[in-house]
Structure 1
């Protein structure tokens, strides 16, 4: 579906994409994951022809002339870019007209897509009056007007509440079941776990691209999950045997290569300091743990 071979993109002295190669398969959902500034948005914009690569090779849908296949691609940008002072239906109709769809056909497709996204009952509401989740559904609907073969989404659910995020991903799954290839950049690891494959990008380089399960199996360390009521727990256990410590909400993931030694150290240290342990147990690493590891390793 998409072949990217040794592509680079520089902005002056800044190398945004650094000799990156990636092959995206037909019919898959590929997640692009990485820290802010990793190059995810730049890569998407190169794939859809909004930015020119500095060097390398790229072909989309079998063509190296991306301009010639743009009508087969859909795109939802990171920032809501439709007209706030137009209604849902007016925005959709405008997008359909820009794609050259006949007026009668626009009406038919609009109803289908707005029904599919759950926006039909809000067709006469101004876009500016929609909630964050509904705006993202409208952006999704606009990107589907010409029924693309491959759909690119750049962090489409950032700032959207968990329920709306779940609904949005259900829509993506339904599209994928119909055969659509989807490329989505996401800052959320629970969303990345829903993808068929995940490409970790950092400093413009592709660190690895595998299934979520493969990433977790290959994780080289062990994880202890610690729950305590005390804050700043790293200060209390800094002398314990461990490789790293990361906070996930009200829990801590302690990275180690010796579970028993680390557990014993932590239990002794917190008992001495009279800090009750609510939970301390070995857990399977998550994709979030993998993300933290790759980010810490940088582009190496």
Structure 2
């Protein structure tokens, strides 16, 4: 296994950031940690990147213990934190040369790893990093994390605040890196990115809720989901929450996702209930469950 985490616990005073977290990541796998802000993702990344020590439990990266072998791990992993942390006053080229020097290598030696990414930022190589767009900063940070040819890549919410086009480009780059044998552990609050991973772990309040492939996790969702809409969406949500047979109610794009407590769902009864409280243009149709639906059900 490229990454092994066994019964990791970490607290900050009265806050339990990680609670008995265990999972394994196979070599060459893209493994996603999926959860909201404050779920414990960054704390776990810092422990695996040897920047933080767990209160209890064990973890290893590329076969090396995160406490005993921290120096070895720092030379064989690439870490891209959620916040842009490169030198803002240095140019693109200067940042890359600096990180190559730190790891006693050169840009030329491992250029094959970053070529696809670097070609996109090369026109701006003399621009200071702090003046780059969000997408360009992201690509530069990834280049710097790859310059020493790491075995394992840690990416902590790498696409937060980046436009949709840059997000898609970034994930295309990750797939190409995976083909080169690099193991990737990535965290994200975006449920649509979860489907791009080989396996995912849902994390909430420092606890792992479930681990499986995205396809298998969606199959675990047993209730029928309904897409609902009406002329007043806010009133629709509030009315559904007080409906006696409601199991779950939450906004989902232009619809409300609704599940019922009954085995046999009565559409006519629900429509009648909603019309009586003044809603019009009501639509109710069956929807396919998504990863987000599964997470919401587990988190509840």
Look up the match of 2:207: 205
Does the 8 Å CA contact 1:9/1:17 hold for their aligned counterparts?
Answer: yes
- Give the deviation of 1:203 after TM superposition: 1.9
- Give the deviation of 1:249 after TM superposition: 2.7
Structure 1: distance between partners of 2:88 and 2:64: 35
Distance change in 2, residues 1:81/1:126 (3 Å): same
Query: Matched residue of 1:261: which SS?
Result: coil
Look up the match of 1:264: 268
List runs of 5+ in structure 1 lacking aligned partners: none
Deviations 1:66-104 (A, max 9, x none): 322221100100100011121111111111111111xxx
Distance change in 2, residues 1:120/1:259 (3 Å): farther
Does the 8 Å CA contact 2:178/2:184 hold for their aligned counterparts?
Answer: yes
Distance change in 2, residues 1:12/1:241 (3 Å): closer
- Give the deviation of 1:242 after TM superposition: 2.0
Query: Matched residue of 1:57: which SS?
Result: strand
Alignment of 1:161-172 (within 5 A): 161-172=163-174
Structure 2: distance between partners of 1:107 and 1:124: 18
Deviations 1:233-257 (A, max 9, x none): 1233432632111002321100224
Which of residues 235, 238, 244 in structure 2 aligns to 1:235?
238
Query: Matched residue of 2:53: which SS?
Result: coil
Distance change in 2, residues 1:262/1:125 (3 Å): farther
Task: Report the TM-score when normalising by structure 1.
Answer: 0.91
Structure 2: distance between partners of 1:186 and 1:26: 20
- Give the deviation of 1:106 after TM superposition: 2.5
Does the 8 Å CA contact 1:241/1:265 hold for their aligned counterparts?
Answer: no
How many residues are paired up?
Answer: 292
Is residue 135 of structure 2 the alignment partner of residue 133 of structure 1?
yes
- Give the deviation of 1:148 after TM superposition: 0.7
Look up the match of 2:248: 244
Structure 2: distance between partners of 1:241 and 1:161: 39
List runs of 5+ in structure 2 lacking aligned partners: none
Distance change in 2, residues 1:268/1:184 (3 Å): same
Look up the match of 1:56: 57
- Give the deviation of 1:107 after TM superposition: 4.3
Which of residues 83, 86, 101 in structure 1 aligns to 2:87?
83
Is residue 78 of structure 2 the alignment partner of residue 74 of structure 1?
yes
Look up the match of 1:187: 189
Structure 2: distance between partners of 1:284 and 1:260: 18
Look up the match of 2:280: 275
Does the 8 Å CA contact 2:34/2:200 hold for their aligned counterparts?
Answer: yes
